[in-house]
Structure 1
Amino acid sequence: MGKRIFYFLLTNVLVLLTISIIFSVTGAGNYINAQGGIDFGALLIFSAIIGFSGSFISLAMSRWMAKKMMGVRVIDPNGAMSSEEQMVVEKVHRLSRAAGLTHMPQVGIYHSPEVNAFATGPTKKRSLVAVSSGLLHQMDDDAIEGVIAHEIAHVANGDMVTMTLLQGVVNTFVVFLARIAAWVASRFVKEEMAPIVHFVAVIVFQIAFSILGSMVVFAFSRHREFHADRGGADLAGKDKMVHALQTLKAYSNRMKGEEQTAIATMKINNRRKSALFSTHPDLDDRISRLQAK
């Protein structure tokens, strides 16, 4: 269920790179002083402008980006709906009202065999809750309600806006440090080559530091998942929220078993993904915390 974070970060990196390249090509926001050194005050202001612009543009594009990249089909609540679509819309609207939302999120379904769902959008008034066809086919009614309640909790908590502010701070440091590192790298080449090296190095270092900075965002995401679990339990009931996580765990274990069988057949080593780059905590941790609530 990390699609919300993945597409936000992907959009952020692309927007940040685009803005940075435009500024570099046009010469806007010059932070090199007359002596060829860095004006750190000017660079910090320049970095904050780019950093927060990138994160807020990413937030504004998040709902549109998710629809396009995931192929989400938005359901018209006033139009003709199948029984499955009606069930999803009813749950989203009922839980949204329970969470105190005055504007109902857009509701969408996208075709994917994965058991997945996500919530995104720039504001509570312009949010989107989408579920995969795989989730609808492999989870029972109580588990589906628990998952949707979890996503509604993300919307009600304003997690996307909070993440945008955090991403803006991270972006500022990424831009700031990337330009210092690029300036240092340009000192080691001939003077006529320095501008080219500086331009290329800015892009390389910015991508590298963005990857490192994403670990901070991922850590925040893992922290907010526990809050969304508690919010989902308040909305749908703790039993349904625990049941949803247990169902997801059973699905994950089944997928791991199939993957390990395929890997063993092809004689490929299975390497576990580092927790530092995970958007979600371990399911056992989430279940145990929720049960102890």
Structure 2
Amino acid sequence: MDFRESIRVNNRKTKLVVLSYIAIMLLVGLLADIAIRPLSNAGLLYDMKLYLSLAAIPYFTLGVLACTLIGIFIINKFGHKMMLSGSQYRELDPTGTLSDTERQVANMVEEMAISANLGYLPRTFIMESEQMNAFAAGWNKDNALVAVTSGLLSKLTRSEVQAVIAHEVGHILHGDSKLTLYVGILANVILTLTNIFAHVFLFSRSRNSNANKAKMLLMVLNFVLPLITQVLYLYLSRSREYMADAASVQLTGDNQAMISALQKISGDHQVHDSASKLNDEIYTEKYRAAAYIFNKGDSVFSTHPSIENRLKKLRGE
């Protein structure tokens, strides 16, 4: 299997998902503009073209964009910190005193960061849990981190742990954390504003047919967009997992280590009851779970592909 081609294919899928979100965002903004200030009676598409050509200023569309940019700014500053919130973890300082296992983990993160040409060293954390898992967050030298559980370190071989760490470094390399946070912001802005617009226009009527059509479409979108945006988001998450698996193989040069690691992690979760979660009482656990190397799949409502499909990809089937 050509793992570079796998990454290219999933990158194309990612671009399509992001473009879909942007298209939805523009549609919602333009419909709101037409509902409030229709420019003609010649059809919705004609009015949309007029607004896009700036024949009139699309205030609501620009407002949707402004809300998105504010959300992205906040996420840039604080989003990655949610990943460690509430967890029992310790950071490994490469310059400090570490046990042999801790030193080995810190060295593997450094080796994979160098192999990936990141240009910086992600911070490394160990989370206290018997459950086998790992996750990455961030996208630059100020916020990138890799975390693995103590259970994973005690139950995997060195080569398997290295494959898992390479998978997580792959997420950082591809900017997955940044991308999923941005897409999450897009989805929330779209859904919130669509809901507001739909309620504002619920009982209003206009003499202009374009305005009435725009209002009707916004009310319909208020019901269907939650499902559409969720499916797109989860599809994106599954694509990024395949990419990270491919990155692990590229960085380590060994697909068998990743295959073996995933098999052991999956088996461990079955033994410990797949319903159990790390720090189950913590609200941020649900947010963090989507970033774990393993989570049950594979459906349109899953954050991860099934373990069977991931193994098939890794075997080149």
In the alignment, residue 50 of structure 1 is paired with which amino acid? Answer: C
Q: 1:94 aligns with which of 104, 108, 111?
A: 111
Is 1:44 the counterpart of 2:61? The answer is: yes
Q: Is the 8 A contact 2:160 2:257 kept in 1?
A: yes
Q: Using the TM superposition, give the Cα deviation of residue 100 of structure 1 relative to its aligned residue in structure 2, in angstroms.
A: 0.8
Equivalent in the alignment of 2:41: none
Q: Using the TM superposition, give the Cα deviation of residue 108 of structure 1 relative to its aligned residue in structure 2, in angstroms.
A: 0.5
Q: Is the 8 A contact 1:118 1:151 kept in 2?
A: yes
Distance 2:298 2:306 in 1: 12
TM-score (norm 1): 0.69
Distance 1:63 1:168 in 2: 14
- Equivalent position SS for 2:147: strand
Change (3 A) 1:214 1:60: farther
Q: Tell me whether 114-123 or 61-70 shows the greater mean CA deviation.
A: 61-70
Q: Is the 8 A contact 2:138 2:175 kept in 1?
A: no
What are the equivalent positions in structure 2 for 1:11-26 lying under 5 Å apart?
none
Equivalent in the alignment of 2:308: 284
Change (3 A) 1:181 1:113: farther
In the alignment, residue 242 of structure 2 is paired with which amino acid? Answer: F
Larger RCO (alpha carbons 8 Å, 6+ apart)? 2
Q: 2:241 aligns with which of 211, 225, 228?
A: 225
In the alignment, residue 251 of structure 2 is paired with which amino acid? Answer: L
Q: Using the TM superposition, give the Cα deviation of residue 258 of structure 1 relative to its aligned residue in structure 2, in angstroms.
A: 9.7
Q: 2:195 aligns with which of 178, 202, 206?
A: 178
Distance 2:184 2:69 in 1: 8
Gaps (5+ residues) in structure 2?
Answer: 1-30, 39-50, 52-57, 206-221, 277-295
Equivalent in the alignment of 1:117: 134
Is 1:249 the counterpart of 2:266? The answer is: yes
Q: Deviations for 1:221-264, whole angstroms, at most 9, x for unmatched residues?
A: 101111110100111221111111121222233335898xxxxx
Change (3 A) 1:121 1:178: same
Distance 1:150 1:258 in 2: 24
Name the structure with the higher helix share: 1
Q: Deviations for 1:108-165, whole angstroms, at most 9, x for unmatched residues?
A: 0111222111100142553000111221222222221111110011111122233344
Q: Using the TM superposition, give the Cα deviation of residue 284 of structure 1 relative to its aligned residue in structure 2, in angstroms.
A: 0.5
Equivalent in the alignment of 1:11: none
Equivalent in the alignment of 2:157: 140
Q: Is the 8 A contact 2:153 2:161 kept in 1?
A: yes
- Equivalent position SS for 2:136: strand
Q: Using the TM superposition, give the Cα deviation of residue 65 of structure 1 relative to its aligned residue in structure 2, in angstroms.
A: 1.8
- Equivalent position SS for 1:280: coil
Is 1:214 the counterpart of 2:230? The answer is: yes
Equivalent in the alignment of 2:9: none
Distance 1:227 1:72 in 2: 27
Q: Is the 8 A contact 2:131 2:269 kept in 1?
A: no
Gaps (5+ residues) in structure 1?
Answer: 1-30, 189-204, 260-271
Percentage identity across paired residues of the two chains: 25
Q: Is the 8 A contact 1:59 1:160 kept in 2?
A: no
In the alignment of these two chains, the number of paired residues is 235
Q: Deviations for 1:45-77, whole angstroms, at most 9, x for unmatched residues?
A: 212211232234224313322222324321111
What are the equivalent positions in structure 2 for 1:124-163 lying under 5 Å apart?
126-163=143-180
Q: Tell me whether 245-254 or 227-236 shows the greater mean CA deviation.
A: 245-254
